[in-house]
């Protein structure tokens, strides 16, 4: 059944959700306060890199099933179901999440709701937010109790956002059990296709739905920091964290995924979500419950420092004037996102400590340049490594993993490589005469 939907916020989450919902057969209007972004999306252009999204967006903008506006009133008039997909970044002067954008959507939209409507929040928010917003919606909406809010967290991964939206591994919906209204029934209609495929659908209360999202991200962050902490011990003993991760990963209770030791996690979600989770636990008087996340964060940030220190040792004790190629700026491959990117952080720190850094990334150069305008950016990996004293692979893009160690060796001044993501075929590089340093494994 075709529903009329709006999606507030057209970033990685909102734009993908809007296009995904159109693909599921709904009529969708995307809303954003950024006029330039809306103009580009209306032309069928995606303002960021996300595989598969440009095709999907163009298809549905052309079919007329998907359109974009800066006018919230147009969305309130058109749609019966409104998704909130705006950002909740870390606040400037603390660990908490900045709720300005989410609140702004409610303050704008709710007073325009003159007929029954359902609002479904997707943004990652501190537990307790949804209950507060549900109350606010009832107060502000002319239609009163017929304006109902539920929470439907999003688990999409950048780089796989389209797939995760069209074929989610689970759906979660939070509703107020004392006041469930029509929210579950409406949500079931929106996701009818996924539900027909028997996608697990967890319907719970608002607080649990909010906590599901941050708990999932906190667990993933913990898994990564766990293996990175073990990598530090491996480095101290000569053990190999790759073999170790394979071996413990065979235990189904542990699993091999997210045990990739390296430069650690970054991006727009994991780092800020664990900090906001800690901040919220503090407000709730249970900060001790999550103090371990402080350590998860510390282990993670120590990875970046470790690579900078290792680089200094590799080039003979001083970074001043050392020519270093940093391959990668995005926080992970298949993304142009440099938010809290370990790769870009390492490049920036090396630069500040006097190294002559050349950065290349297949997609994230413009975003990286905006953050670090003083870094030197090379158009190709070959230009980045030319005459380098050290090569650091900081994001595991395929084109870096596939670099030919012999040809690369002919271009550099010193054959030294730090494999910050344990993604290179180490033996091939060693055989080609390179000094190879992995993360928690093999060095030559
Ligand atoms: C994450 C969650 O996976 C997703 O469910 C949620 O909706 C949003 O946050 P994303 O930020 O796109 O998604 O990235 P993800 O693939 O989780 O990777 C996060 C970071 O962890 C990257 O910097 C990646 O390089 C790093 N990572 C991942 C590791 O260092 N080791 C691993 O084994 C896995």
Same domain for 249 and 164?
Answer: no
Q: Average pLDDT in the 392-400 region?
A: 98
**Which of 142, 175, 199 marks a domain boundary?**
199
Q: What is the pLDDT of residues 230-278, one digit of tens each?
A: 999 999 999 999 999 999 999 999 999 999 999 999 999 999 999 999 9
Cα–Cα distance measured from residue 353 to residue 376, given in angstroms and rounded to the nearest whole number: 15
pLDDT score of 267? 97
pLDDT band at 444 (very low <50, low <70, confident <90, very high): confident
Is the pTM of the predicted complex or chain greater than 0.75?
yes
Shortest-distance Cα residue to atom 1 of ligand 1: 157
Same domain for 28 and 149?
Answer: yes
Same domain for 143 and 272?
Answer: no
Percent of the chain exceeding pLDDT 90 equals: 99
pLDDT band at 421 (very low <50, low <70, confident <90, very high): very high
Residue 256 lies in a domain: yes
User: Helix axis angle, 35-42 relative to 53-63, nearest 10°?
Assistant: 80
Q: What is the pLDDT of residues 28-53, one digit of tens each?
A: 999 999 999 999 999 999 999 999 99
Residue 206 lies in a domain: no
Q: Give the number of the atom of ligand 1 that is nearest the alpha carbon of residue 259.
A: 33
270 Cα to the center of ligand 1, angstroms? 7
Same domain for 296 and 377?
Answer: yes
Q: What is the pLDDT of residues 338-377, one digit of tens each?
A: 999 999 999 999 999 999 999 999 999 999 999 999 999 9
pLDDT score of 1? 85
The residue whose CB lies within 8 Å of the most ligand 1 atoms, and thus the one to mutate among 156, 220, 394, is 220
Cα–Cα distance measured from residue 43 to residue 136, given in angstroms and rounded to the nearest whole number: 35
Residue 31 lies in a domain: yes
Same domain for 283 and 432?
Answer: yes
Q: Kindly report the average pLDDT of the chain as a whole number.
A: 97
Query: Hey, which residues are catalytic here?
Result: 269
Q: What is the pLDDT of residues 100-132, one digit of tens each?
A: 999 999 999 999 999 999 999 999 999 999 999
Q: Average pLDDT in the 173-183 region?
A: 95
Residue 411 pLDDT more than 80?
yes
Q: Ligand 1: residues whose CB is within 6 Å? A: 154-158, 217, 220, 224, 258-260, 262, 264-267, 269-270, 331-332
pLDDT score of 442? 73
- Structural domains of the chain, count: 2
Residue 134 lies in a domain: yes
pLDDT band at 443 (very low <50, low <70, confident <90, very high): confident
pLDDT band at 300 (very low <50, low <70, confident <90, very high): very high
Residue 37 structural domain: 4-199
């Amino acid at each position: 059944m075709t529903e009329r939907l709006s999606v507030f916020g057209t970033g990685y989450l909102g734009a993908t959700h809007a296009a995904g919902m159109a693909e599921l057969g709904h009529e969708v209007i995307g809303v954003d306060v950024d006029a330039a972004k809306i103009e580009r999306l209306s032309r069928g252009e995606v303002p960021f890199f996300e595989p598969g999204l440009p095709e999907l967006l163009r298809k549905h903008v052309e079919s007329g099933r998907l359109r974009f506006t800066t006018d919230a009133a147009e969305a309130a008039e058109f749609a019966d179901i409104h998704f909130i997909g705006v950002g909740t970044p870390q606040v400037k002067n603390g660990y908490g999440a900045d709720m300005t954008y989410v609140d702004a959507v409610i303050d704008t939209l709710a007073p325009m709701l003159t007929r029954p409507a359902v609002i479904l929040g997707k943004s990652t928010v501190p537990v307790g937010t949804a209950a507060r917003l549900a109350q606010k919606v009832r107060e502000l909406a002319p239609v009163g109790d017929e304006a109902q809010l539920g929470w439907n967290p999003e688990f999409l991964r950048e780089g796989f956002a389209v797939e995760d939206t069209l074929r989610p591994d689970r759906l979660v919906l939070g509703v107020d059990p004392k006041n469930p209204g029509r929210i579950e029934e409406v949500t079931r209609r929106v996701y009818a296709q996924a539900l027909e495929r028997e996608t697990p659908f967890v319907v719970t209360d608002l607080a649990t739905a909010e906590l599901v999202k941050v708990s999932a991200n906190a667990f993933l962050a913990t898994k990564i920091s766990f293996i990175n902490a073990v990598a530090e011990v491996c480095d101290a003993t000569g053990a190999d964290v790759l073999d170790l991760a394979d071996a413990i990963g065979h235990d189904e209770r542990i699993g091999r995924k997210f045990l990739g030791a390296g430069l650690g996690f970054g991006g727009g979600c994991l780092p800020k979500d664990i900090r906001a989770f800690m901040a919220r636990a503090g407000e709730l008087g249970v900060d001790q419950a999550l103090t371990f996340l402080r350590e998860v964060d510390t282990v993670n940030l120590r990875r970046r420092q470790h690579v900078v220190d290792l680089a200094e040792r590799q080039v003979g004790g001083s970074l001043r004037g050392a020519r270093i190629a940093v391959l990668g700026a995005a926080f992970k491959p298949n993304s142009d996102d440099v938010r809290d990117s370990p790769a870009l952080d390492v490049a920036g720190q090396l630069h500040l400590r006097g190294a002559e850094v050349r950065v290349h990334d297949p997609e994230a150069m413009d975003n990286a340049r905006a953050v670090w305008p003083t870094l030197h950016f090379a158009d190709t990996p070959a230009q980045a490594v030319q005459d380098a004293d050290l090569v650091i692979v900081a994001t595991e893009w395929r084109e870096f993993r596939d670099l030919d160690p012999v040809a690369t060796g002919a271009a550099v001044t010193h054959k030294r490589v730090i494999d910050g993501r344990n993604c290179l075929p180490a033996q091939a590089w060693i055989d080609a005469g390179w000094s190879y340093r992995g993360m928690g494994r093999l060095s030559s």
